[in-house]
Amino acid sequence: MSPLLDTPVEIAIVDYGMGNRRSVEKALEHIGARASITSDHDQLRAAAGLVLPGVGSFPRAMENLRELGLDELLRERVASGTPVLGICLGLQLAFDSSTERGGAAGLGIVPGEVHALQAGALKLPHIGWNEVRLTRSDSPLLESLPDRCAFYHVHSFAPVPADRCDILAEAEYGAPFVTIVQRGSFYGVQFHPEKSSAAGLRLLANFAGLCLAAAPVPG
């Protein structure tokens, strides 16, 4: 498969010790982006866009981000209009709080909370391919994606945005849950685009395009 990007763009993957950083890096390189894994503040500020990956516990992840000063940096970059993509736990961390393991405060970028999936008799964590239904089609993140397409999920919790206007897509596992959000320049997906074949690569290429459009023009 040829790269999906005509023009390379610098995207930094936030390294706070959690998440499948290398597989995200490889997927970004596959679409034609220049990707780096770093916790260096100068590198994260210089990149045209950031990816916040994540696998594991919400409270532990927030602790790691705070220890490295990355919580304030992420808020700063979103406030400045820099595209930031949260993947799986990285999506959840953008919310005000989570009920996981007794609860913890999040980054507060997207109003709302993260709750356990209401899966009924279904097994948790929810692992595998699941059809995602787009509820809005006006976001550039979703360009060239069909209204319904499958992505690979691995999670037991999902966000509940306070404002339904922030929701781009939902899926169902026992009950409906939110799986794509956008708030300003923050984009978040509950699934793993780097493990989601052509649709996942298309979404990552769309995000890279957003980073390219937002990058300062060299003077």
- Residue 194 appears among annotated catalytic residues: yes
Exposure on the CB side of residue 12, measured as CA atoms within 13 A: 21
- Residue 155 appears among annotated catalytic residues: no
- Residue 115 appears among annotated catalytic residues: no
Of the listed 25, 100, 194, 211, which one is catalytic? 194
Of the listed 25, 88, 126, 211, which one is catalytic? 88
Please, what is the end-to-end C-alpha distance for the chain in angstroms?
34
Residue 218 makes CB contacts below 8 A (sequence gap 6+) with none
In this structure, the chain runs to a length of 219
Report the alpha-carbon distance of residue 96 to residue 75 in Å, rounded. 12
Report the alpha-carbon distance of residue 64 to residue 107 in Å, rounded. 12
Q: What would you report as the CA-atom Rg of the chain, rounded to the nearest whole angstrom?
A: 16
Of the listed 149, 155, 192, 211, which one is catalytic? 192
Active site residues: 88, 192, 194
